[in-house]
Structure 1
Amino acid sequence: MFPLGAVLLPGEPLSLQIFEPRYVALVEDCLDGHREPEFGVVLIARGHEVGGGDVRTDVGVIARIVDVIELAGSRFRLRCVGTERIRVDEWLTDAPYPRADVRVWPDEIGADDTDLVADLRKRADRLHTLTAQLARRSGIRRPPPSASLEDLSPDPGIRSYELAARLPIGPTDRQAALAAPDPHARLETLVTAVDDAIAMMEFRLQ
């Protein structure tokens, strides 16, 4: 297991520089040819990535290693991609690196999400308009680009993760989206997150 200060979603790329000895050992075990080159990623709810002693969430994602560069000084540069969602059943000892008993957690079947997708696009446009207004007021000539919410997958589950990955939301909201039981509930979580961001922007623009 690899606890991180960020949330990995299924389908998302992940680049890592590995230098801490325990995670060097994890990578070496992943690449020994006797198992799949993958490991679990969970969000650190409290604490830091380096040194241990962190508090971890129990819902994460399997990261598959797709490219590795071995560097000098027992270091690695990894390129990974998130695959399946997992739930931690039990955390084991951190020796020689964080480990856990996990199970794959597929999405449950939810309600139709077509209206929610359209609604989320409208809210995202509103959020971008407010963000651009605040940027101009702050003297920023080039406001951040709007989130690209087109060319989404027709699969409801994949589409919900694509939206979560593209929207300008923080790790707490991304984790809530990841932990939603089904695509419809995930979109409802995203709508709430964007609404909260809109409310904050409107307050700052008063």
Structure 2
Amino acid sequence: MDELIEMPMFPLGSVLFPAMPLSLRVFEPRYMAMLDALLSTECPEFGVVLIERGQEVGGGEQRFSHGTVARIIEVASDEGHVNVLVTGRDRIEIVEWLEDSPFPRAVVRVLPLLLWEEVCEPRREQTELLVRRTLQRASRLDEHLWPSTIDLDDNPVNHIWQLAGIAPIGPLDQVRLLGARSVRDLLDSIFVAVTDVAESLDLRSG
């Protein structure tokens, strides 16, 4: 039987992938309370899930069922808020949402780590080439994208999750990737999503 754990949660308007960094600006009292509780522990971690409907501020939002564990790396106080840097760890599936007081919490199931298969190397190379080429094209229209020449992790599974993280795709495509059952499944899903973006760029360029 899968182990279930209770975890503080931070619903966001963006997706966090394993092995990817994320910067947060925390100012709501409920999340300040969450930070206070976490920073007194040896392993300050919380779950990040994408908001399906609603807004980040104020509560009452609907949330997707797949997310990622975020490990706190840096915390810096500023006037009226706290800047937090986290990195993505394990993938999680929400089993049950608990009361949001004093901050959002959920019972979650940690999903198995994806295992690297050497047979997937050609597909990884093909997918990475597509992602980097599409990033280069899309960056002419959106300056907030990741640079197409960015270095990625040497660990092959982390490398692929980072490919997912830098790919110029929308949050709905991103959250689907979190449900991947294998490295091959993840690579195929990234390739399909980025191909759709590349075709859209073709249409826009005439």
- Taking structure 2 as the reference length, what is the TM-score of the superposition? 0.83
Q: Which has the higher contact order (CA 8 A, sep 6+)?
A: 2
Report whether the alignment pairs 1:44 with 2:45: no
Contact 1:65 1:79 (8 Å CA) reproduced: yes
SS of residue matched to 1:113: helix
Q: Which residue of 2 aligns with 1:127?
A: 134
> By how many angstroms is 1:180 displaced?
1.1
Q: Could you tell me how far apart the structure 2 residues matched to 1:129 and 1:121 are? A: 12
In structure 2, C-alpha distance between the alignment counterparts of 1:173 and 1:149, rounded to whole Å: 21
Distance 1:205 1:97, change over 3 A: same
**Is contact 1:10–1:83 with CA below 8 Å preserved after alignment?**
yes
1:57 is matched by which residue type in structure 2? Answer: F
Matched-pair identity in %: 36
- SS of aligned partner of 1:25: helix
Residue 172 of structure 1: aligned partner: 172
Q: Which runs of 5+ in 2 are unaligned?
A: 1-8
Conservation of the 8 A alpha-carbon contact between 1:107 and 1:183: no
Cα distance 1:152–1:25, how it changes in 2: closer, same or farther (>3 A)?
closer
The AA in structure 2 aligned to 1:26 is: M
Counterpart of 2:10 in structure 1 is: 2
**Alpha-carbon displacement from aligned partner over 1:96-150 (angstroms, at most 9, x marks no partner):** 1111001211235576311211221342355356547xx4xx8x9x9x7862376
- Would the alpha carbon gap of residues 187 and 48 (structure 1) be closer, same or farther in structure 2, given more than 3 Å must change? same
8 Å contact 1:164–1:190 — kept in the other structure?
A: yes
1:47-58 → structure 2 map (5 Å cutoff): 47-58=54-65
In the alignment, the residues of structure 2 paired with residue 39 and residue 98 of structure 1 have an alpha-carbon distance, to the nearest angstrom, of 10
The answer to whether structure 1 residue 83 and structure 2 residue 84 are counterparts is no
Residues 150 and 113 of structure 1: is their aligned pair in 2 closer, same or farther, counting only changes over 3 Å?
A: farther
* C-alpha contact 2:152 2:162 (8 A) present in aligned 1: no
CA RMSD of aligned residues (A): 2.6
Q: Residue 154 of structure 1: CA displacement?
A: 4.0
Q: Hey, what's the Cα distance between the residues in 2 that align with 1:55 and 1:145?
A: 28
Rounded Cα–Cα distance in structure 1 between residues aligned with 2:40 and 2:125: 46
Matched-pair contact (CA < 8 Å) for 2:131–2:163:
no
Q: Which residue of 2 aligns with 1:105?
A: 111
Contact 1:5–1:43, Cα closer than 8 Å, also in 2: yes
In structure 1, the partner of 2:154 is 153
The 1:51/1:80 distance shift into structure 2, 3 A limit, reads same
Contact kept in structure 2, 1:107 and 1:181, CA below 8 Å: no
| One of 18, 26, 29 as aligned partner of 2:26 | 18
- SS at 2:51 equivalent: strand
Alignment-mate amino acid for residue 62 of structure 2 = V
Change (3 A) 1:125 1:151: closer
Q: What CA distance in whole angstroms lies between the structure 2 residues aligned with 1:27 and 1:169?
A: 30
Instruction: String of CA shifts for 1:139-169, please: whole Å, max 9, x gaps.
Output: x9x9x786237654243x2122021122222
From 96, 113, 121, the counterpart of 1:114: 121
CA distance in 1, matches of 2:146, 2:181: 30
The number of residue pairs the alignment matches comes to 196
SS of 2:17 mapped into structure 1 = coil
Question: Partners of 1:92 and 1:6 in 2: how far apart?
Answer: 22
